[in-house]
Amino acid sequence: MSAALNIIKDPTLTYRQEVLALARLGESTDTTLRYSDAYYAAKAKGALCDLNEGVMPYRPRYICPDYELLFKKGCEFLELDPPADLLEAVNVLEIFYCHVPSITAYPVYLGDLDKLLEPFVLREDRSYAKKVLRLFLRSIDKIQTDSFVHADIGPEDTVTGRLLLELTEEMQLAVPNLTLRYDPEKTSDDFALACIRCMLKTAKPSFANHPMFVREWGERYAIASCYNGLSIGGGGFTLPRMRLYECALDAKSPEDFIENRLPAYIDLQLEYMDKRVRFIVEESSFFKTNFLVTEGFVDQAHFTGMFGVVGLAECCNYLLGITDNKKGFGMNPEATALGLRIMDAIKERVEKHVAPYCDAYDHHYRLHAQVGIDTDGMDDSPGTRIPIGAEPTMLEQLEVNEKFHPYFPTGTGDIFKFEETYIRTPEAILPIIKGSLANGLRYFSGYLENNDVVRVTGYLVKKSEIEKLRQNKQSLNQVTVFGKGAQDGGHALDRRVQHHEESSRQ
């Protein structure tokens, strides 16, 4: 049976999901853009992965429009005037979102919603504003049906932010993903606790280290997709990844890997990225004719390439001959130290590379801890995370995270599953988040163990929707299939449950 026939006969795909799958199939079969034989050999053995970007790119992978500009001047192409009230504001956004492309075909960044909508919300009766926002969130969930769709709030406490948290709890939606940009100098404890309560019940918002992101990107940054740091008015050209465990399989020792094998794989991934970036800018029409560019909502200078890595834990354990993950990376000081050496080597080589068209970043790519895909299985844990099933207590795990998160300006994070009693004591979690962010943690996510909405690797799904797929039924959220695959192959939802007594003893 042909690949196309498999798609159209799949009972679990909605019509729109079929269209997107057929489009990706066509995109993946073109032969215009070619790479070296060495690159194809590395890809064939699984050491390098293009994350299904397609052979011939026709738009950047991630796009973060300037929505403040949209509200200031409107959009000529879409015939949208600047909004005058809350109803017009959400209507303008709903229309605009439908025309923002990405690798998923859905917008991966919806804007800093509290900041955008606060002036309009404050002019309205609170109950009316909440009704409009409810309809707005419902439209996002039913139209932008992909959990990589992401919005941000904070760092300041706002009426709009509070309403969004209330509605997130009430509506229990997996879309959109949500991040609180947390700053201890700007985010009140009361607002942070409201976010923690919402996070426990709905797996969002996550907590981003606002001061860290500001140092790296400036004030105008976005958290998009899973947890990706990017510039507002820019985005990410491309995100391939090195599967570090597979890269290590032909190494004779840790030294051989770091000195000989690793540099070769890094260079092959940089070759891939350079060719894709040049093609997107020089050959495709996006930066020449797309209204997002011509009207100033994005600027090519503010895009960069995202150099992804995955499976550091398994790489280190393999190189040291460790077969029990519970005695390896994250618990074993030698394995963790090797992980730092590997990351130092990757960071140094990537930073020396002169990348095309990354004008705002001194022509350099930036590192990304990739969350994995549904077909990875147990061989490659997301980014630099400790493998599921081998996690120590939360605070021990955070101590490891704090060492590795600073390497990744374009995103990394970890996820913690809490026992149900934490919903009565969210104040027990706040000092843990505060201390971890102060010590270098970039991004913290969590949820209660019995939630329906859960965080898989970085995106959110409903367990009830996964069960629909198991029964050969359709799920509106197109990433539910990824959640099912991540659970079936990598036990992504079986992470350690965090208990009160363990964290209180630390």
Cβ proximity of 498 and 477 under 8 Å: no
DSSP state of 13: -
Whole-number pLDDT of residue 503: 58
DSSP state of 495: P
Burial label for 506, CB within 10 Å (0-12, 13-18, 19+), is: exposed
DSSP state of 175: -
Ramachandran region, residue 149 (left: φ > 0; alpha: ψ -120 to 50; beta: rest): beta
Query: What is the Rg, in whole angstroms, of the alpha carbon atoms belonging to the chain?
Result: 22
- Strand arrangement, sheet containing 497-498: 150-153, 177-182, 206-209, 443-448, 414-418, 497-498
CA torsion sign, 153 to 405 to 357 to 48? negative
Q: How many residues does the chain have?
A: 506
Which tens digit of pLDDT belongs to each residue from 131-173? Answer: 999 999 999 999 999 999 999 999 999 999 999 999 999 999 9
Supply φ then ψ for residue 366, to 5 degrees: -125, 150
Among 356, 223, 239, 229, smallest CA distance to 301 is for 356
Kind of pairing between the strands at 241-243 and 48-49: antiparallel
Within the chain, how many helices (H) and strands (E) appear? 22, 17
Which tens digit of pLDDT belongs to each residue from 378-396? Answer: 789 999 999 999 999 999 9
Whole-number pLDDT of residue 501: 60
Q: pLDDT below 70 — which residues of the chain?
A: 1, 501-506
Question: Model-level pTM?
Answer: 0.95
- Write out the E strands in 220-321: 221-224, 228-231, 234-236, 241-243, 303-304, 306-310
- End-to-end C-alpha distance for the chain, whole angstroms: 56
| Residue 267 token pair | 């260079």
Whole-number pLDDT of residue 393: 93
β-pair partners for 209: 182
Whole-number pLDDT of residue 505: 36
Cα–Cα dist 474/10, whole Å: 10
CA torsion sign, 420 to 426 to 432 to 434? positive
Cα–Cα dist 197/427, whole Å: 9
Whole-number pLDDT of residue 502: 63
Cα–Cα dist 225/148, whole Å: 4
Cα–Cα dist 52/50, whole Å: 5
Q: Which residues contact 142 (CB under 8 A, 6 or more apart)?
A: 476
